[in-house]
Amino acid sequence: MHTLRLRDREFRPGDFAVMAVVNRTPDSFYDRGRTYGFDAALAAVDDAVRAGADIVDIGGVKAGPGDTVDAAEEIRRVADLVAAVRDAHPRLVISVDTFRAEVAEVVAQAGADLLNDTWGGPDPGLADVAAKHGIGLVCAHAGGVTPRTRPHRIAYDDVVADVVSHTVGLAERAVRAGVREDAILIDPAHDFGKNTRHSLEVGRRLGELVATGWPVLVAVSNKDFVGETLGGLAVEERHAGTLATLAVSAWQGARVFRVHDAAAAVTALTEVGRLRAAR
């Protein structure tokens, strides 16, 4: 199992790291623009740090379909915020959620420590940027779909096998590109290029990703598969389901947890850690 090293932080096997989401988008499915303003976004980072977050993940483009956001606008939304967060929190690990190498280059110069490519590598230049700046990379699985689209009736012979093959392949490609081996994570990307049944299967068999040795990131917070599994719950009703899914993922060996409520995640993961230690 790899020890994960980002900035001056070290996350060993068995450690849990909370990654708090901060969206500089006016149309996020969860906060609906609450942190779109610069001051609001910076305050949200401060709140996440106080809550115990180890990493903040800053995004400038809504994941789902919506208004077009070109690279210049994405840079406008995230680059200055990354620089401000770096000044305010020198030890905090800063991640940026982007699938564009052009954006990655700018945020790396601004102080980002991790590039969170949630769309599964549509721009191979992202790995080159991570290698150039000595920073980390998240290698995710989205079934090869176009970023910001929702495929109709996507199918897999074995979704978990597909996830393992794709994410490990991206991780190995990143190493060949010069990305530090101890700065790479893999992410099954629940709901990205997957229906609810696929996401649940990934959740049940998460141990197969953990067994690859790469640190596993899970991003399940308030997602559609949680709501649908629990009978069609609205976004604001998915908190308990999110925490349950985090706990199951942690028990199976996931290491980094991307969440909207950092304080609740810290509490839940602390309890999982104690239960595992008692075992």
* Rounded distance between C-alpha atoms, residue 174 and residue 166, angstroms: 12
| Cβ pair 126, 138 in contact under 8 A | no
CB 86 within 8 A of CB 110: yes
195, 147 contact by CB (below 8 A): no
* Contact yes or no for 157/151 (Cβ under 8 A): no
What is the Cα–Cα distance from 233 to 250, expressed in whole angstroms?
A: 23
CA distance 214 to 211: 8
Architecture of domain 4-8+16-278: Alpha-Beta Barrel (3.20)
The domain locations on the chain are 4-8+16-278
Which helix (H) or strand (E) segment is 259 a member of?
Answer: strand 256-259
Per-residue pLDDT of the chain (279 residues; tens, 9 = 90+): 889 999 999 999 999 999 999 999 999 888 888 999 999 999 999 999 999 999 999 999 999 999 999 999 999 999 999 999 999 999 999 999 999 999 999 999 999 999 999 999 999 999 999 999 999 999 999 999 999 998 888 999 999 999 999 999 999 999 999 999 999 999 999 999 999 999 999 999 999 999 999 999 999 999 999 999 999 999 999 999 999 999 999 999 999 999 999 999 999 999 999 998 886
Q: Which amino acid is at 254?
A: A
Kindly state the helix (H) or strand (E) to which residue 258 belongs, with its residue range.
Answer: strand 256-259
Residue type, 157: D
